[in-house]
Amino acid sequence: MSALIVGVPKEIKDNENRVAVQPDGVAELVHHGHRVLVETGAGNGSRFPDAEYAAAGATVVATADEVFTGADLIVKVKEPIPAEYHRFRDGQQLFTYLHLAADRELTDFLLERRIDAIAYETVQTPDRKLPLLTPMSEVAGRLAVQAAAHALESPAGGAGLLLGGVPGTPAAKVTIIGGGVSGTEAAKIAIGMRAIVRVFDTNPSRLAYLSDIFEGRVDLVTPNRARMAAYIADSDVVIGAVLVPGAKAPKLVSREMVASMRPGSVVVDIAIDQGGCIETSRPTTHSDPTYVEEGVVHYCVANIPGAVARTSTLALTSATLPYLVKVADLGIAGAATADPALSHGLSTLRGHLVTEPVAAAHGMPYTDAADVPA
């Protein structure tokens, strides 16, 4: 395939300071013969100034409109929001986090504009790992506990508890639903802060793994509704860390369970960008991160890693760059055909929805990518 023009716009979601490509990534794309357009200030939130992009070979342009007008392939961190829809051209290509199962409006838009899109979060290697989601899950899991600890403080509306307590007082009880990457990282930080930690997971092999790494410091629980209800009622913090790749998160914690928690307790829903796994959750922003429902403080920020933009950008772009080069070299469709991992991430292709979990979530027609007309 001929060289592409790759566009890197500035993220405009609330307090989203990550950037999709750092300057050394630009240099790599230029080395492969591609031209890169970067919106001025796109890297400022991650402390990458325009001068570094220019030195790496990018063309720094003044507006997002110039990026979208000139680029064949748009590379972002977060999913497009309605304020950006008008900038896309019919048939443009997109590589970013999408979370389509929780966003019917965006799904419809991508299909109407015939955008070819690969979603970071569903790129999957043969060993079933999610290489482009994992670094942000690690960040989100760690930050979730920091957010919970802050939300427990009296000025934040919490119960006025120190997560780890002090000698002579009890530590807070933290229940984590889901023992995957983000749940495991949350458990590590909660243990480090001396909380009492319990982790729910349905996979016996995962529980065995967690038993090995935590050496008895975590209560590992196979869930059922009654057991989960009892643990949640006894929790000071509940962290929802459930992931069904590409699909909408199941609602595992009911409103009644949340209402059973002590006033001033805290809920953190890491799964909120996939619709949330807690019935009382709704998306919040870094500008207004919490609300109180059923007497419980809820932290449901949909882009948690954006709070540590430089760390997150470094972690994310290190993971995405090899795939981005392949996408730029071959195009979205060609890269998905050539690389099985990228084929798992293929979401929309020439006006067709080619991901079954999203089709199921919205009750929409699904088309196998191999059957999409050229």
- Rounded to an integer, what is the distance from CA 318 to the centroid of its chain? 16
Q: Round the CA-based radius of gyration of the chain to a whole number and report it.
A: 21
Q: Which helix (DSSP H) or strand (DSSP E) does residue 70 occupy?
A: helix 64-70
Q: Is 365 exposed, middle or buried (0-12, 13-18, 19+ CB in 10 A)?
A: exposed
Whole-number Cα distances in Å, 245 to 119, 196, 269, 273 = 11, 29, 16, 12
- Provide the annotated active-site residues: 99, 273
Q: Is 279 exposed, middle or buried (0-12, 13-18, 19+ CB in 10 A)?
A: middle
> Tokens at residue 104, please?
């019917």
Find residue 363's DSSP bridge partners.
none
- Rounded to an integer, what is the distance from CA 23 to the centroid of its chain? 22
Whole-number Cα distances in Å, 191 to 171, 184, 196, 199 = 11, 11, 7, 12
Residue 168 — φ and ψ, nearest 5°?
95, -10
Whose CA is closest to 36, among 19, 18, 15?
19
